[in-house]
Amino acid sequence: MSLIAAGGETESTATVDNAEFFPPLKVAEFRAAMRVDGTITDGRATHALESALYDVNQQLATWAAEKQEAGAASIDAVQPPPWLPAGAYQRLYLRAVYATAKASLIERYRDYDSSGEGDNKADKLDPVADDYRRDAAWAIADITGRRRATVELI
């Protein structure tokens, strides 16, 4: 006897509210952009997005306040430098939030399978989570005009 499961997956309509200056986040857009499949529930994806936006919004708080004082009502209204297209700041913002959320989900991958095989799989994903965190840091640096390089003295 075999079972063929017919996918009854519907596209999520869940939205995560955000501060007025930043755009609301759509779970379906996050899933599509970051290749998050149905094994991650909407609740878990929403939680990851909420945590990520709190983190990113905090890092951008000073920058956002400066732009609001200059008259921008939202991140999409901020005029980018000539070498960036219109809407670049909003796309960079989404990249930062999505990458932070995806890193968070990957870091919790061990929750799915605590067997030896699951641990090995999770160990392989650790560098990937670091890559997503780097992408988020770079997007935030690009928004604020900081350099991407991080230098430490040994």
Q: Who contacts 139 (Cβ-Cβ below 8 Å, separation ≥6)?
A: 92, 93, 95, 96, 99
Q: Per-residue b/e over 77-95, b at no fewer than 16 CB within 10 Å?
A: ebeeeeeeeeebbbebbbb
pLDDT tens figures, 23-63: 999 999 999 999 999 899 999 999 999 999 999 999 999 99
Q: Which of 96, 13, 10, 7 is CA-nearest to residue 57?
A: 96
pLDDT tens figures, 84-135: 999 999 999 999 999 999 999 998 866 555 555 555 555 555 679 999 999 9
| Predicted local distance difference test score (pLDDT) of residue 26 | 97
**Reduced to 3 states, what is the DSSP secondary structure of residue 25?**
strand
